[in-house]
Structure formats: structure tokens, C-alpha cells
Amino acid sequence: MARFFMIAAALLTAGLIGAGKAPAWAEDRQEHAEWGYGAGDGPSRWADISPEFATCASGEEQSPIDIAGEHPISSSVLKIDYARGQASIVNLGHTVQVKVAPGNMLTFGDAKYELLQFHFHTPSENTFHGMHFPLEAHFVHRDEDGNLAVVALMVRPGEAGALDLLPVPAKAGDEEALGKDFSPASMLPPELAYLTFAGSLTTPPCSEGVRWIVLKETVTASIETLSRLSEVLGRNNRPVNPLNGREVRESH
């Protein structure tokens, strides 16, 4: 855990992440009232845009959060079993999202979820002692009862990685195929040590009851790719929310 914070601190010193304050539903996030990240339609205004978004202001277990300090141990085993299959990447306006084929599974403790999609935020939404990573990927999963689990992955500048192989559709509505042999597992680090807490969607309607699993190991991408994503996405991160008594746990 200390190494994780050291990486964030190094990126801050290098000017590659920010300090202080800085999706969502799995399918089409543009089906509700219009919202965004600007002064008039951003996070502080979401609850005013539509009654459907009231939880964005009234919720007690909202995401993202700032992660700091020591944490009790979680006994839940995390297992990810992603398969190769058809996939595409689409610009939704609020984010760039990778749509995947059915059959990519995640097990967390006794719960089993299926991967629906993954998408990106620049800079990271969750922070670490108040510090952001340049990019955060959210892998959104759903169980058979409709409960959601999000695996959050932090990306830092370094050697080119799997993220560098993804095209980045430039305009809202643009979509590109990734072929029939795409593996979401290629995006993940080899180790799955994690931090976990109860939270919400980080975009309207900010629904709660979401299990958050933040991977402690980061992955790298080239500065060129991180800059390209930042250029296309803009600043699409929600500020952190208070814990309100919630407990963050971490794996062994």
C-alpha cells in the first residue's frame, strides 16, 4: 500500500497528476436528462437537472472517495475470468467506453458478476491522500440480481501498455471495432490486490449499492496516449465525496 501512495506522490511531483478535488450505468448513459462536467451542468448541479438525479446530492454512500490511512483486512477473494471475444470502443460524449461480449466473469467473495463494459476518466476519480492519477479505468459488472460491482484501475505514465493499442474515437458517436479476439484481461495488472468499499455510480443517477474494488497495482501507458485521452475526454471526473462512516478494507 505504501508503494501505491509513493507512485502517486512521484506523479504529483512530476506534474502529471493533480492534488485536491479534482458512470455510470452500463449501457447508454445519454438516455437521461443532459448532464456534463461544466459549470452549469457539472457534479454540483446534477441533482438540480432532474429528480432522477436527487441521490447525487442526498446520497450517503457516494463515489468517488479519497483513500488514505490504514485499513482493516478484507477476507473476500477476488477472481477475474475474462475471455476473448468481440468488442468495440465508442465515444459516448461523457467518456470513451469499450463494449464487450458476454461471458467475462468476476467473483468477489460469494458474489459473481458479469462484465458489461469498461470506460475511462481523466484524471482519476478516486484519489489517494488527495492525489489523482492521470487516468482511471472503470470495469462495470452486474450480477444476476442487478447489483453492480466496479473494478477501478489506475493508469500512470510509463512504458507503452495495452491501453496504447486501443483506438480513441475523437467525436461523440464515433465507434471502432476491436475485432473478435479482444481480451479485457489484457488491460489488467498481473496482481489483483485491492481496496474495497460500498459506493455509488460516479455519474447520474448516482445510484448507491455499488461494490467498489480499487486495484492497488497500477498499469502504465505512454504519455502520448494519456494526453490523447485527456484531449478527447476533457476533465470528466467527479470530485470525491465524504466517507460518512463507511469502512475501506484491503486485501492481504
Hey, which residues does 100 pair with through a beta bridge? 87
Distances (CA, A) of 191 to 56, 212, 216, 227, 251: 33, 17, 9, 26, 11
Residues 6+ apart with CB under 8 A from 40: none
Angle CA 84–106–183, to nearest 5? 15
- Position 157 confidence tier, pLDDT thresholds 50, 70, 90: very high
pLDDT at residue 39 greater than cutoff 90: yes
> Quick one: cell of 215?
486495484
Average pLDDT over residues 58-68: 98
Mean of the pLDDT values across residues 11-22?
42
Catalytic residue (one of 71, 94, 121, 252) = 94
Q: Is residue 82's pLDDT more than 60?
A: yes
Q: Are 211 and 198 in contact (CB under 8 A)?
A: yes
SS (H, E, C) the chain: CHHHHHHHHHHHHCCCCCECCCCCCCCCCCCCCCCCCCCCCCHHHHHHHCHHHCHHHHCCCCCCCEECCCCCECCCCEEEECCCEEEEEEECCCCEEEEECCCCEEEECCEEEEEEEEEEECCCCCEECCECCCEEEEEEEECCCCCEEEEEEEEEECCCCHHHHCCCCCCCCCEEEEEEEECHHHHCCCCCCEEEEEEECCCCCCCEEEEEEEECCCEEECHHHHHHHHHHHCCCCCCCCCCCCCCCEECC
Inform me whether the pLDDT recorded for 113 exceeds 60: yes
Query: Which pLDDT value is given to residue 24?
Result: 37
Q: According to the model, what pLDDT value does residue 23 have?
A: 37
Adjacent-strand bridge partners of 146:
none
- The pLDDT value recorded for residue 33 is 72
* pLDDT score of 95 more than 50: yes
Using the predicted structure, report yes or no on whether residue 114 has a pLDDT greater than 80: yes
71 is catalytic: no
Range from 23-32, 56-65, 87-96 carrying the lowest mean pLDDT = 23-32
Range 28-54 burial, b when 16+ CB lie within 10 A, else e: ebeebeebbbeeeebbebbbebeeebe
Mean pLDDT value of segment 57-79: 97
Average model confidence (pLDDT) across the chain: 90
Please give the average per-residue pLDDT across 130-136, as a whole number: 97
Average pLDDT over residues 57-86: 97
All 3 cell numbers of residue 40?
Answer: 452549469
Mean pLDDT of 12-37: 50
Q: How far apart are CA 23 and CA 135, in angstroms?
A: 15
* Least-confidence region, from 23-32, 138-147, 174-183, 217-226: 23-32
Q: With pLDDT > 90 as the criterion, what percentage of the chain qualifies?
A: 87
Mean pLDDT of 75-85: 97
Distance, C-alpha 46 to centroid of its chain: 19
Using CB atoms within 10 Å of the CB of residue 114, give its burial: 0 to 12 exposed, 13 to 18 middle, 19+ buried.
Answer: middle
**How far is Cα of residue 140 from the mean position of the Cα atoms in its chain?**
8
